[in-house]
Amino acid sequence: MTPCAGLIVGLIAVLAAGFFLLKKYYEKKIREKDKLVKEVEAQLIQTEKMASVGTLAAGIAHEINNPLSFLISNLDAMANYVQSLSKEPSLDAGLRKTLLEDFRPMATESLEGALRIKKIVSDLRTFSRRSETKKVLLDINQILESTLSIVWNEIKYKITVVKDYQAKSSIPADPTQLSQVLLNIVLNASQAISDKGTITLATSEDEKNVCVKISDTGSGIPKEVLPKIFDPFFSTKKAGAGLGLSVSYNIIKQHAGDLKVESAPGRGTVFTITLPKKSGENKTQ
Ligand SMILES: Nc1ncnc2c1ncn2[C@@H]1O[C@H](COP(=O)(O)OP(=O)(O)O)[C@@H](O)[C@H]1O
Ligand SMILES: [Mg+2]
């Protein structure tokens, strides 16, 4: 081969390698964009679902709230009446027994049931309330700590809590709503751990966002269940209302943030909350 031909072959080889690398680069870019489009699509679908169910939920919650209030106040009064009536000295012994053994548990059980409905109605109202977010500058680590103290009694015997608080900046957020989100996720995590396990609470930040990761070593979420967990009323639990995550998702979206999940069945689940450090500024990418 003449030196000139060798040079040409070399040049062609370099060009071919260049094209190959360029092709790989663009293929990767296209895959990344595809993934992004799919994610945005999924978010849009979720937001639409939330909007229609939110309107419905607001109506139902409003209608139920009034009768529920007098039901609770009457049941409470009834439970007190039964209690004081049973102490009446002139009362017939048989009647006293009926009052104490039948009526009293009935009244307290009904009251408990009504209070549970109240909690669901209140969740529904938060879920559908779009504009009443009252943001203040707050420290996410502090909100995590106060949330943890609310559930501590319930989880302390079976859960080891690991904390890794790295976030330093404050974020504009509604403390009650944010605490509700963290509570829902931590409670779900603890419910997913049947015997003993670990919940890790980690906070971090980058230039624009503060991030909270709540990981558990619980049951994990099967692949076919994963797309449904943010849907209102979806629950795999016997007595689950299925509102915790949809309420949480809604709250985080109202804060211009993001709520994501990753799960490995049998190994555990990670929920990641991303919240912007400045109002009106949107997250990652
Ligand atoms: N940390 C978790 N580990 C396993 N499954 C979870 C976890 N968090 C949520 N889930 C699943 O998502 C469903 C919906 O959760 P949620 O909206 O809080 O409703 P609920 O707790 O009332 O069932 C749960 O029933 C459960 O199947
Ligand atoms: Mg829940």
* pLDDT string in tens for the chain (285-residue length): 677 888 888 888 888 888 899 999 999 999 998 888 877 777 777 776 666 777 777 777 878 888 889 999 999 998 888 888 888 888 888 988 888 898 889 988 999 889 888 888 877 776 665 546 788 999 999 999 988 888 888 888 999 999 999 999 999 999 988 988 999 999 999 999 999 999 999 999 999 999 999 999 999 999 999 999 998 889 999 878 888 998 899 889 889 999 999 999 999 999 999 999 987 654 443
Residue 280 has a pLDDT of 62
Estimate the crossing angle of helix 175-192 against helix 140-155, to 10 degrees.
40
Confidence (pLDDT) at 229: 95
In this structure, is residue 94 part of a structural domain? yes
Range of the domain at 51: 1-129
Atom 1 in ligand 1: residue holding the nearest Cα: 189
- Give the whole-angstrom CA distance, residue 249 versus residue 284: 17
| pLDDT for position 132 | 65
- End-of-domain residue from the set 129, 160, 184: 129
Are 219 and 257 part of one and the same domain? yes
Q: Please check whether residues 186 and 264 belong to one and the same domain.
A: yes
Q: Is residue 267 part of a domain?
A: yes
Q: Which residues pair with 160 in a beta bridge?
A: 198
Ligand 1, atom 25, lies closest to the CA of 235
Query: What separation in Å is there between the alpha carbon of 175 and the centre of ligand 1?
Result: 23
List the residue whose alpha carbon is closest to atom 12 of ligand 1: 229
Ligand nearest to the CA of residue 233, numbered in listed order? 1
The answer to whether residues 178 and 271 belong to one domain is yes
Is residue 285, in this structure, part of any structural domain at all?
no
Is the domain of 68 the same as that of 93? yes
Closest ligand 1 atom, CA of 241?
22
Q: Are 160 and 191 in a shared domain?
A: yes
Domain boundary among 79, 103, 129: 129
Q: Total structural domains in the chain?
A: 2
In this structure, which ligand is nearest to the CA of 250?
Answer: 1
3-state secondary structure of 238: coil
Distance (angstroms) between ligand 2 centre and the Cα of 58 equals 20
The residue whose C-alpha atom lies closest to atom 8 belonging to ligand 1 is 188
Backbone angle region of 153, left / alpha / beta, with phi > 0 → left and psi within -120 to 50 → alpha: alpha
Domain with residue 269: its CATH number is 3.30.565.10
Q: Are residues 140 and 98 in the same domain?
A: no
Same domain, 150 and 222: yes
pLDDT at position 284, please?
Answer: 42
| Domain-embedded: residue 152 | yes
